[in-house]
Every structure is written in structure tokens, then in C-alpha cells.
């Protein structure tokens, strides 16, 4: 990988299977905060941005660091792919603003706040089912259920569809893990799926599902997010492909990320029992702890932008067309921003993490929702726990994009 990087390879998904390679990020942040990182063909390589301040500058300056020319993941798309796979994530203002407006109110603090009691009920019923069994997989029995059941609720699709939607979401976003996807992007030929989001054939099933839901709403209108998308399509604000991609993004973005936050949060509390004890004694700290859990978890490792014009970042000349990859996982451990960044401290304040992005037009649409779900889950769980311990290895998703836990066997005793 060249002299500067030594053996650092941020691309190979195998390098994230055991753990996040934090020492590589520490080294880059310290010595090479903006550095050219080569990639295996057909990709061209990218600028790796690892400091908090630089990451923030990139995300705020959307005119220079465009999403329209290629965003989200490392995959390099030709014009045709960019056009058909485009969602709000891959647009710049003013089009981005139009797209986001379609359902931004429903995801505002007020919009999701209306669901607080409902989320609490779901959290209780998920815990009622899981905890009495004593030994179970925390991911499949607890973390996975809450986010998808909530999404089913705001989409008003049947709760029975949740397992199917989970499986589809997993196979799309975890497209580097053979355990979760049959079309693993760096292992099998996925050329036939080049026009689909995440290069995943599963996207077609998600699209058909979205069509059925839209047709139902045309016949029998509902007051939900899908209705907003259906209206936007009938009014010509979204074409059919954009309607599909919009639905896909909401389904995927809102599902896995929150699940991993909850799993990482529980793992951190098991590994730092004094912090769990503190929350037991002072439950009023749980909202603050939620922010530390989000920083600690950083479920999305990076996002990407493409330079729309020549620029300079931290003394490096960036050329128009260059790929610029911002590593949230590194920025959230930047000692300039977070004293003792490797200390898990539920009392940490301030805690301006970039888990949802640093701000700017693409700041996570679901941030209020994810915060609320995480907070409520731990508010309901912690008072019930007497003891909790791991009973086997924690298995991670093979991915350079999501910091995900797929299995976490635990034994619990309750009060």
C-alpha cells in the first residue's frame, strides 16, 4: 500500500472482522490526516480524511465536496449507475432539499416524539419475550426487533413483514458478508446488478414490496411516510426509480444502524460494569449515556463525497473528480475533540459526536428517531437487569462500511 500507509488497508473488509483497526486510524489522524489511499481495481483510490475538523469541513462544503457526483460507499459509479441508483443521499441542493422535504417533518423531534409511548410499549414487549429465557442472542432477540417494528409502524405496513424486511435490509447493506448476502461484492461477479442500490439483487424484492404498498395507498390513503412518497410520485416530484430508492434508503438506513447502536451499547456496558452500575443508580443519566453509546458505536464507519472542483484540504491538493472518504469512526476518537477518547464515559459532556454526520444538508434524517429508540430501550432494560454476561464470542459483520455486530450471546438474570 505504499510507504506512507505501510500495512494500513482501510478497504479490505476482512480487516474489520475481528475488531475496528483503531491503531491505524490513530496513526493516520496523527501523522497523515488527509492521505491518498490506493484501492484494488476497478476503483481508483481515495483521500482518507480522519480528523474531526477536516471531516466537518468536507460535509459542510457541499459545493466542493459533492454527493451528486458519487456519495456513500467506495464503489465508483458510471453516469448511468449514478442516475438510476440516485436517492437523497446522492443529490446536492437544490434537488436534495426537495427530496428531503417530502418526509422531513415526520422525522423531526416532534414527528417522532409522538411515537414515544408506542416505542416504549414495543421495547417492553421485546424485553418481556427475551429476558425470561435467561440465555439468548442479544442481537436477534433484542437489538434487531425494535428498529424494524418501529419502521413498520411509521410505514403502516404489517408487523408480520418485519422478519422479511430485516433479511432484505441485511443482505443489501451487508453486501460484503457471505453470512448475510449471497451476492458478496468483492467475492462473486455482481455485474448483472450494477444498476441496483448496493449492487444487490435483493433491491428488486424491496422495490416490488414498495410498489404493492403504493398501490394500496392509491386505493386507500393512509397517514404515513409511504403515503407522502406515493403523493410525491403521483405529483411527479419523484419518478418511479426515485420512489423505489427513497423507500429502500429509509428501510435500510433506519434498521441496521440503530440495531448496531443498541448492541454496541450493551457490549460497552458489559465491558464497563461500573458504567452500568452508575446508570442503575442514576437513570437520569441515560439520555447522556445514549450520546456516549452513539459515539462509541459509530455504526456507520465512513461516508464518501466526490470533489466537484479542485480544492485544498489540510494542506493536500484535492483534484476535481477525486473521491474523498470521511471516517466517522476516526473523528469520533479524535483526542482534539474528545478527551480520553478511548474511555467509555456515560457522563461525557460535551459530546458532539459525528455518528449522524457533523451537520450540513445530509445530516441523518433519522437521528431523532435513533436517539429515542436507543434511549428508551436502555431506560426499560437497565432497571430490569440484575446480571448480564457474555456466554460466547461476539461476531462482527464483515464490512468496511458498517460497524456491525451480528451475534452476541448473553446470559441474564433479572430482578
Q: Which residues bind ligand HEM (CB under 6 A)?
A: 59, 88-89, 100, 249-250, 253-254, 257-258, 261, 299-300, 303, 328, 355-357, 360-366, 369-370
| Residue closer to ligand HEM, measured from CB, 190 or 358 | 358
Please, which residue, 5 or 328, has the CB nearer to ligand HEM? 328
Residue 394: strand, helix, or coil: coil
Report the alpha-carbon distance of residue 68 to residue 85 in Å, rounded.
11
Smallest gap from Cβ 191 to ligand HEM, in A, equals 27
Residue 183 or 197: which CB sits closer to ligand HEM?
A: 197
For cell 417530502, the residue is: 102
CB of 149 to ligand HEM, least distance (A): 12
The 3-state secondary structure of 68-136, one letter per residue: CCCCCCCCCCCHHHHHHHCCHHHCCCCHHHHHHHCCCHHHCHHHHHCCHHHHHHHHHHHHHHHHHHCEE
- Minimum Å gap between C-beta 169 and ligand HEM is 11
Residue 348 vs 375, nearer CB to ligand HEM = 375
Residue placing its CB nearer to ligand HEM in the complex, 143 or 171: 143
- Give yes or no for a contact between 120 and 380, defined as CB atoms under 8 angstroms apart: yes
Residue 205: closest CA among 151, 152, 254, 167: 167
Of 33 and 169, CB closest to ligand HEM: 169
Q: Provide the residue count of the chain.
A: 415
- As measured in angstroms, the least distance from the Cβ of 377 to ligand HEM is 12
Any residues with CB less than 8 A from the CB of 369 and at least 6 apart, and which?
Answer: 107, 112, 150, 254, 258
Give the integer Cα–Cα distance in Å for 320 and 376.
44
Q: How far is the CB of 94 from ligand HEM (least distance, A)?
A: 13
Closest contact distance (angstroms) between CB of 366 and ligand HEM is: 2
Amino acid at each position: 500500500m505504499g510507504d506512507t500507509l505501510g500495512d494500513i488497508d482501510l478497504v479490505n473488509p476482512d480487516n474489520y472482522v475481528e475488531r475496528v483497526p483503531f491503531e491505524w486510524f490513530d496513526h493516520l489522524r496523527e501523522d497523515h490526516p488527509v492521505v491518498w489511499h490506493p484501492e484494488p481495481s476497478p476503483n481508483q483510490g481515495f483521500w482518507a480524511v480522519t480528523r474531526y475538523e477536516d471531516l466537518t469541513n468536507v460535509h459542510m462544503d457541499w459545493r466542493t465536496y459533492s454527493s451528486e457526483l458519487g456519495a456513500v460507499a467506495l464503489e465508483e459509479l458510471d453516469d448511468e449507475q449514478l442516475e438510476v441508483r440516485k436517492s437523497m443521499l446522492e443529490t446536492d441542493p437544490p434537488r436534495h432539499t426537495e427530496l428531503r422535504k417530502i418526509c422531513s417533518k415526520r422525522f423531526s423531534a416532534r414527528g417522532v416524539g409522538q411515537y414515544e409511548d408506542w416505542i416504549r410499549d414495543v421495547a417492553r414487549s421485546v424485553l418481556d419475550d427475551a429476558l425470561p429465557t435467561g440465555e439468548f442472542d442479544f442481537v436477534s432477540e433484542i437489538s434487531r426487533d425494535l428498529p424494524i417494528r418501529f419502521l413498520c409502524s411509521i410505514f403502516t405496513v404489517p408487523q408480520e413483514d418485519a422478519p422479511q424486511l430485516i433479511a432484505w435490509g441485511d443482505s443489501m447493506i451487508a453486501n460484503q458478508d457471505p453470512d448475510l448476502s449471497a451476492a458478496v461484492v468483492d467475492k462473486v461477479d455482481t455485474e448483472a446488478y450494477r444498476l441496483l442500490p448496493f449492487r444487490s439483487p435483493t433491491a428488486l424484492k424491496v422495490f416490488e414490496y414498495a410498489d404493492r404498498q403504493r398501490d394500496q395507498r392509491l386505493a386507500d390513503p393512509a397517514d404515513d411516510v409511504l403515503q407522502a412518497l406515493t403523493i410525491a410520485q403521483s405529483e411527479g416530484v419523484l419518478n418511479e426509480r426515485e420512489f423505489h430508492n427513497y423507500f429502500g434508503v429509509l428501510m435500510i438506513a433506519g434498521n441496521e444502524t440503530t440495531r448496531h447502536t443498541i448492541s454496541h451499547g450493551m457490549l460497552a456496558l458489559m465491558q464497563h460494569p461500573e458504567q452500568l452500575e452508575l446508570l442503575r443508580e442514576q437513570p437520569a443519566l441515560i439520555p447522556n449515556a445514549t450520546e456516549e453509546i452513539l459515539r462509541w458505536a459509530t455504526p456507520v464507519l465512513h461516508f464518501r463525497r466526490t470533489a466537484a472542483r479542485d480544492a485544498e484540504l489540510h494542506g493536500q491538493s484535492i483534484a476535481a473528480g477525486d473521491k474523498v472518504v470521511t471516517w466517522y469512526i476516526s473523528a469520533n476518537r479524535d483526542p482534539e475533540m474528545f478527551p480520553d477518547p478511548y474511555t467509555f464515559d456515560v457522563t461525557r459532556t460535551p459530546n458532539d459526536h459525528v455518528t449522524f454526520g457533523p451537520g450540513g444538508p445530509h445530516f441523518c434524517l433519522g437521528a431523532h428517531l435513533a436517539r429515542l429508540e436507543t434511549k428508551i430501550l436502555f431506560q426499560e432494560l437497565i432497571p430490569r437487569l440484575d446480571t448480564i454476561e457474555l456466554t460466547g464470542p461476539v461476531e462482527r459483520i464483515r464490512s468496511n462500511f458498517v460497524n456491525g455486530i451480528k451475534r452476541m450471546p448473553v446470559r441474564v438474570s433479572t430482578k
